Structure 1
Amino acid sequence: MTTQIGFTPPDLAPQAPGPVRRRHVVYLPGYDPEAGKRYRALFAREFARYAKRFDLAKRSITRAETRPDGLVQTWTVETGRAGAETHTTYEVLLWDDLVRADFRRPLIASMALLTAGILHGVATGKLFRLYGLNWKYGNVILYPFGMTLILAALAAVLGQGVAHLAAGWLPGLAAGLVGALAGIGLVLAATPLLDRIFLRQLINDWVFNWQHSNGWRRDYEDRLALFAAHVAGIHKAGAVDEILIVGHSSGGLTAAEVAARVLPATAGSAPGPRLSLLTLGAGLPLVAINPRARGVRAELMSLVATDRMVWADYQAPQDWMNFPGFNPARDLGETPAGPVRNPVIRSTQFRDIIVTEVYRRISFRPFRMHFQFLMANDLPGEYDFFALTLGPQALRERVLTPAIVPLRPETPPEPVPVHREI
């Protein structure tokens, strides 16, 4: 998609409700079997790096605690100057147990499901539409399928070779069975290597999105209901100024689905905290453009039309795994029920907030660039993950009139590049 990144709904204007002193962040991870470990570690590391470079004055972070049921991981952060601090309760809502259950499925079964999903995507035109939205993401989608075909071909060649050799001393059926076992053994032996290059995760991710878009993931739907009830409970308690629902990557859709269900759950209640939704590098079309995903599209359009929640969507053309220029109000083929009020769409402008040497090095590492949404800037800029989630501006004001957080006075403008993995 070549559409310029940037959209502000016509009726969205800045407000002056005062600074956010108490915020509750609810973070929804994407399809990740290690979400319970990864995001706390990533947040703590990058926040420490951010605090060394940017002028935050007071800054503190507590240890993380995980609820006994394993669904909510919580810590608190304080930033700001004395007497004007922002206290943030930061929660990660976990569904990685569902992902790990998918990973327990035999790799061969996942490959078969991937093949079925790709063929369905071709038959429905979904795959072609995804390519039209972002050809780079289309290649990411086809990468696991192509690797599946290559691995299947190698397994078939090995199996035939072993069967041919075994035919000299075993009956034909037994020789064929030995060959088949050799081919399967190759796939199983290759699994650790495939995990190192994220192939199995990409395979299962695509399968999950395909299943979800067809309404075949009751376990995930049940988890969404629990998450929405949890957020509605925070709203009912009314102890904070803003509830910020955040989602990155495929978690952007999870966050949007939770937010859409929070709206009816909090309708008619007394005025409570501001409701805000922040999606980062989201893959909304992966599910929403399936013709059968009518419920998902209806939820997204409810967010497009609501005036009870501000939704900001940050996109990056440098990131292969998002859809820069995508606007659900325009590109889903649905008509909003009223004026378009969401989302506010902004570019991260990564080129301006990452030092040149680091930018050059990570430009050819798709996964690393994809996680830049959650990492500390090198340089000040409008996109600033920690200012968005921890700063005194509510989301509406942050995206419309951002107060740029400056570097610390003693910080050199061009830091020594630091190699950071995801």
Structure 2
Amino acid sequence: MGKNSHREVRRRRVFYIPGYDPIHPRRYRELYRKEGAAQAAVSGYDIALTAKTPGDGPYGWHVDAEIENGQTQADVEVLVWSDIVRDSMEQGITATYVQLARTAWTYIVSGALGRLMKLRKGPVIAALYPVVFLVVQLVLALLVAWGIGAAIAVFLPWRVGFAALAVVPPILNWFRKKDGKFFAYYLMHDYAYSAASQGANPPELEARMGAFRDRIAPSLQEDVDEVLVVGHSSGAHLAVSILADLVRGGHVPKDGPALAFLSLGQVVPMVSFLPKAYRLRADLAFLSTCPAVTWVDVTAPGDGCAFALCDPVSVTGVAKDDKIWPLVVSAAFTKTLSPERWKELRWRFFRLHFQYMCAFDRPGDYDYFRITAGPKTLAERYKDRQPSKSRIERAVNKFPQMTP
């Protein structure tokens, strides 16, 4: 860690990289506002948000806080790629089923699916869910068509029973319109996006990551105490490559702000286990040995959509002898949420995947708002923290190669 990693924080820049999410970034501001106020009420500190004014840069907000006897200011910026996500989701029903077949083929034939199952069952089940549910939708539609066709054949034998197949598209379209409840199409497009290029970044995403790098780089020259990059879900593996590029590109001055990376609910193995994820694997290996960046990885076994307590570097098979990152810790939902709150959230899988950015009514040593708005750097806050004893570090990936 750099010499400035343990300084007291008065001013902080925070760059938040969402996962595969088509929603407008205002969602993250409102989530921060609501949950920050709830956590402040539980933990006894003050936190206030103000919106950025027009012309004040990309989407984000300002935070003024009084936490742990320190007064801090933070500028939070959302690095938006929801437009890319929306474009990738603009697939018809037929195209989605073609995606389903290609994605399943990629993960099964490459052996990635079998390897992923050796880590955590939860995210693999989440990956299989859209495949199974979309197939069930098709089977139900065909059964309805068969029933109608059989009725036609009995009562109107001169009619062609195959005409009943006309009901299949409307039934499938009904399911698609209800996907806000089922999430089958959404998840299918998510996994298909990375699988389409077998783990390589699509050109439009690579270009956007370059733009993100260019947004973060100037902040490392500013008069701030810490620059914190937060990557949630799929955003975690984007952050790995962006930070690796920043360091390799000479954008991290030795006497500049402390540079920190907080990965939350990461799903890195879903990409790094694919055959052509050479860039990601090389960036994981590089960042894991980099003293210029403090990297803390937070997951929780209660989050069925994340590879909980799986060291993304080690399980990918690219850990080196001089590896120092990430520090793998658990948000321990079953301990940091009261029994009543845990009962309320336990089966709300997608809500739990966002719990890392929400309030805990029995908070432990992980507090998103202390990290993003408190007076301690990430390095200082976790300097004495031991990694989770139940973390998985064994190399599981079949494709550890970092070059083609």
Same fold (TM over 0.5): yes
Do structure 1's residue 339 and structure 2's residue 322 form an aligned pair?
yes
The Cα of 1:205 is off from its aligned counterpart by: 0.9
Matches within 5 A, 1:23-422: 23-57=12-46, 59-64=47-52, 72-80=58-66, 84-162=70-148, 176=162, 178-211=163-196, 213-215=198-200, 217-236=202-221, 238-267=222-251, 269=253, 271-336=255-320, 339-401=322-384
The Cα of 1:66 is off from its aligned counterpart by: 7.0
User: Which of 18, 22, 44 does residue 11 from structure 2 map onto?
Assistant: 22
Structure 1 pair 65/156, CA: closer, same or farther in 2 (3 Å)?
farther
The Cα of 1:303 is off from its aligned counterpart by: 0.7
Distance 1:108 1:256 in 2: 34
For structure 2, which runs of at least 5 residues remain unmatched after alignment? 386-404
- SS of 1:75's equivalent in the other structure is strand
Q: What's the C-alpha RMSD, in Å, of the aligned pairs?
A: 2.6
TM-score after normalising by structure 2: 0.87
Structure 1 pair 130/36, CA: closer, same or farther in 2 (3 Å)?
same
Amino acid corresponding to residue 9 of structure 2 in structure 1: V
The Cα of 1:13 is off from its aligned counterpart by: 11
Distance 1:20 1:170 in 2: 81
1:218-271: CA deviations, max 9, x gaps? Answer: 1111111100111112213x2211110001122222222222222223347563
Contact persistence 2:220–2:252 (CA under 8 A) = no
Greater shift, 155-164 or 276-285, is seen at 155-164
Distance 2:367 2:328 in 1: 15
The Cα of 1:93 is off from its aligned counterpart by: 0.8
Contact persistence 2:145–2:168 (CA under 8 A) = yes
Distance 1:292 1:348 in 2: 32
- SS of 1:342's equivalent in the other structure is coil
Structure 1 pair 104/328, CA: closer, same or farther in 2 (3 Å)?
closer
Amino acid corresponding to residue 100 of structure 1 in structure 2: R
Structure 1 pair 300/378, CA: closer, same or farther in 2 (3 Å)?
same
Distance 1:199 1:25 in 2: 32
1:172-230: CA deviations, max 9, x gaps? Answer: 6xx64x44432112111221222222222111111112135443621111111100111
Distance 1:134 1:198 in 2: 21
For structure 1, which runs of at least 5 residues remain unmatched after alignment? 1-11, 403-422
Distance 2:120 2:80 in 1: 29
TM-score after normalising by structure 1: 0.84
Contact persistence 2:4–2:258 (CA under 8 A) = no
- SS of 1:282's equivalent in the other structure is coil
- SS of 2:51's equivalent in the other structure is coil
Greater shift, 29-38 or 142-151, is seen at 29-38
- SS of 2:262's equivalent in the other structure is strand
Runs of 4+ in 1 over 6 A off after TM superposition: 12-16
1:319-354: CA deviations, max 9, x gaps? Answer: 111112311332112253x61121111111222221
Distance 2:317 2:254 in 1: 35
Contact persistence 2:265–2:307 (CA under 8 A) = yes
Structure 1 pair 83/144, CA: closer, same or farther in 2 (3 Å)?
closer
Identity of aligned residues (%): 28
The Cα of 1:131 is off from its aligned counterpart by: 1.2
The Cα of 1:109 is off from its aligned counterpart by: 1.1
1:78-99: CA deviations, max 9, x gaps? Answer: 1127994111001111111111
- How many aligned positions are there? 383
